């Protein structure tokens, strides 16, 4: 669930360059997202196995899920999204400038003409 929310958030950051894509297109465009989903599946299965084992507890399963899955994966996904965030910030800064060149714009209105 967290990964799907992250994918949708990242998709909204880069929607200008990628246009409109479906979730599957987004996953195919970023194979690392598929690895992240697979890792969360493995960690979830390990947590379920720990919860139902003879010596395991639900609290141990929760700790396993958080420390082996959610926390490290959130750090990795945050770092992976850094280029998209940087590009979005640069696009926002360049959109704030009227001509995008970083220089002051010329006079938009011609000066009043004096008659001789």
Give the lowest-confidence range in 11-25, 48-62, 64-78, 100-114: 11-25
- The most confident of the ranges 5-9, 43-47, 89-93 is 43-47
Q: Does residue 94 form part of some domain? A: no
- The most confident of the ranges 44-58, 72-86, 96-110 is 44-58
- Domain tally for the chain? 1
pLDDT for res 16? 46
What CA–CA distance (Å, rounded) separates 85 from 78? 10
The alpha-helical segments, DSSP class H, found in 19-102 are 23-29, 31-52, 58-65, 71-80, 82-96
25-43 mean pLDDT: 78
Most distant CA pair in the chain, distance: 102
Q: Does residue 53 form part of some domain? A: yes
Q: Does residue 97 form part of some domain? A: no
Q: Does residue 105 form part of some domain? A: no
pLDDT for res 83? 86
Say which residue, 21 or 79, is predicted with more confidence.
Answer: 79
Q: What is the mean pLDDT of the chain?
A: 76
Q: Does residue 49 form part of some domain? A: yes
Q: Does residue 6 form part of some domain? A: no
**Which residues form the domain of 71?**
15-89
Which residues are CB-contacts of 13 (< 8 A; sequence separation ≥ 6)? 81, 84, 85, 87, 88
pLDDT of 92 above 60: yes
């Amino acid at each position: 669930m967290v990964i799907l929310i992250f994918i949708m958030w990242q998709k909204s950051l880069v929607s200008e360059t990628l246009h409109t894509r479906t979730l599957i297109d987004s996953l195919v465009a970023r194979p690392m997202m598929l690895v992240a989903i697979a890792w969360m599946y493995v960690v979830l299965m390990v947590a379920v196995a720990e919860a139902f084992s003879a010596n395991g507890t639900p609290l141990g399963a929760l700790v396993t899920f958080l420390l082996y899955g959610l926390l490290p994966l959130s750090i990795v996904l945050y770092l992976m999204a850094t280029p998209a965030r940087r590009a979005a910030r640069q696009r926002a800064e360049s959109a704030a400038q009227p001509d995008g060149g970083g220089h002051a714009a010329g006079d938009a209105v011609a000066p009043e003409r004096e008659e001789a």
